[in-house]
Amino acid sequence: MRDSRTSAILNLTLGIVSAAMAVSCFFLPEENVPWLSSLLAFLSLAAVAVSMGILNYSSYLFTSDTKRLFLPYLICVLSVPGIMDAGPFHIAALLTVWTMFLAAGYINSDRVRMDFAFGSVLIAGAASMAVPCLVYAQIVTVLYCLYVRNQEPLRYLLSILAGAGIPWLYVVVWSFIFPGLTDLGAFLGRYAHGMELSLPSFDGMTLPEMSWAVLLSLLVIRSLVFVIRRRRERNKAQKNAFGLSVALSVVMFLTVVFCGGLEEPLLLMSAGVPAAFAAYDLFINGRRAEAGVWLALLMLSAVAVRLSEFFPDIL
């Protein structure tokens, strides 16, 4: 699946726009982020981009133009206010990539790798500790791996129970050792609140932000349709990997819509990871004109959102 239509100009434009979005974060009105937090946020975004490249080469088998994978993702997340202030969403995004890495390794391995199953659930559980609504992605990961590779279900069940339980055991032990630092009751309340489902609300969103949300939704839907329609053209490993991306993209999309993602846009950092691989397939293997239009709309909309933050009375 080598892309023979690589556009150096388009890739350069993507790089320039992503760099401009990153730099502009430091000049936003009322933005006063400590330099250490900004440095950690930058390093976490770099780690996410590198990890996505590693996942791509290990499971998705694309061998060219990986810039079409991580640059559109970076443009999207860099448009989110507060992206340069390191926090739990940055940690969760990196953990989401490695959850997918281990889950894809488990379902595509020649041997039964229960250590991969254990690790994927453990890391997904750690991500849900940081961002509670990601527990739905953890559940879907478990079910998808069981569906694709239904081998030794008892060992698999024990592995995922151990992986899912360790983050909770850590929280409980930590709360007893350091009761002044961690209130277990407050943590459980926050966790339950983060999992709550609610109808989406567009209150407080500007017109560019609403247009941006609609564009991303349409791109995700189009990418998923494209991936599903091309299923027969892939080998078994690719089918499994893209199936994981589709499953996680759907649950992440629903999580953003019904778990307050519109009110907490930083959730896009984690939700955008599986969708980025589906969109990458469209950008690489779709019609050149269509891919160019989507990427152009992506860049223009991200710039419009950023300009609306600098000039709220104009846009």
123-176 pLDDT tens trace: 999 999 999 999 999 999 999 999 998 878 899 999 999 999 999 999 999 888
* Residue partners of 70: CB distance under 8 A and separation at least 6: 48, 49, 52, 53, 276
Predicted TM-score of the model (pTM): 0.91
- As for how many domains the chain has, the answer is 1
Whole-number Å distance between alpha carbons of 253 and 255? 5
Please write the tens of the pLDDT for every residue from 67-122: 899 999 999 999 998 899 999 999 999 999 999 999 999 999 888 889 999 999 99
* Domain span holding position 154: 8-310
Instruction: Tell me whether residue 7 is exposed, middle or buried, using C-beta atoms within 10 angstroms of its C-beta: 0 to 12, 13 to 18, 19 or more.
Output: middle
pLDDT at site 11: 87
Question: Within a domain: residue 118?
Answer: yes
Does 315 fall in a domain?
no
Say how far apart CA 107 and CA 122 lie, in whole Å: 16
Say if 46 falls within a structural domain: yes
Cβ atoms of residues 126 and 95 within 8 Å: yes
> Which tens digits make up the pLDDT trace of 11-31?
899 999 999 999 998 888 766
In a domain, 160, yes or no: yes
Residue 236 lies in a domain: yes
Instruction: Please report whether residue 3 resides in a domain.
Output: no
Give me the pLDDT at residue 262, please. 67
Q: Is 298 part of a structural domain of the chain?
A: yes
Residue 1: inside a domain, yes or no?
no
User: How far lies 265's CA from each of 79, 143, 257, 314, in Å?
Assistant: 10, 27, 10, 22
